[in-house]
Structure 1
Amino acid sequence: MLKIMRADSSQVFRRGPFQVRRNRPGLVLGSNVDVAFGPLSVIDHANLGPGTVVRMHEHNNDEILSYMWRGTMIHEDSAGHRIPISAHKLMMMNAGRSFWHEESTPDGPVEMLQIFIRPREADLPGDVQFFDRPDNIMDGRWHLVAGPQASDAPLKIRQQVTVYDANLRAGDEIALPTVQGLSPWVYVMDGIVTIGTETLAKGDAVTDLHQPLPTLRAKGPTTLVGFLVDRTAPATQAGTISGR
Structure 2
Amino acid sequence: MSTIATDLRVKIRPAQERGHADAGWLKSAHSFSFASYFDRNNMNFHNLRVINDDWVGPDGGFPMHPHENFEIFSYMLEGALEHKDTMGNGSTVHKGGIQFMSTGTGVQHSEFNPSSTDETHLLQIWLIPDRKNTTPRYEMLELSEEARNGKLQLFLSQDGRDGSIRTEAAADIYSGKLDGADTISFELADERAVYVHVARGEVQIGGQTLTDGDAIEAEGKGILELTNGKGAEVILFHLSPRG
Same fold (TM over 0.5): yes
Greater strand share, 1 or 2? 2
In the other structure, the counterpart of 2:27 is 19
Q: Aligned-pair RMSD on alpha carbons?
A: 2.1
Distance 1:101 1:145 in 2: 22
The Cα of 1:50 is off from its aligned counterpart by 1.4
1:148-182 Cα deviation digits (max 9, x unpaired): 03644521110111100101223322123545232
Identity %: 23
Structure 2: state its 5+ residue gaps: 1-8, 34-38
Q: Structure 1 residues 169 and 53 mapped into 2: Cα distance closer, same or farther (>3 Å)?
A: same
Distance 1:205 1:154 in 2: 23
In the other structure, the counterpart of 1:78 is 86
Distance 1:24 1:228 in 2: 17
The count of corresponding residues between Structure 1 and Structure 2 is 228
Alignment of 1:1-244 (within 5 A): 1-24=9-32, 32-33=40-41, 35-107=43-115, 108-134=118-144, 136-137=146-147, 139-149=149-159, 151-232=161-242
1:44-85 Cα deviation digits (max 9, x unpaired): 111112111211111111110111121111111111222111
Q: Which amino acid aligns with 1:20?
A: S
1:118-146 Cα deviation digits (max 9, x unpaired): 11133222111111344534521100110
Q: Which amino acid aligns with 1:113?
A: L
Q: Structure 1 residues 127 and 173 mapped into 2: Cα distance closer, same or farther (>3 Å)?
A: same
> The residue matched to 1:209 in structure 2 has which SS?
strand
Distance 1:133 1:184 in 2: 21
The answer (yes or no) to whether the contact 1:92–1:156 under 8 Å persists in 2 is no
The answer (yes or no) to whether the contact 1:90–1:130 under 8 Å persists in 2 is yes
Structure 1: state its 5+ residue gaps: 26-30, 234-244
The Cα of 1:4 is off from its aligned counterpart by 0.7
Q: Which amino acid aligns with 2:59?
A: G
- How does the TM-score come out when normalised to structure 2? 0.86
Distance 2:149 2:74 in 1: 22
> The residue matched to 2:219 in structure 1 has which SS?
coil
Q: Which amino acid aligns with 2:62?
A: V
- How does the TM-score come out when normalised to structure 1? 0.85
Q: Which amino acid aligns with 2:152?
A: W
Q: Which amino acid aligns with 1:24?
A: F
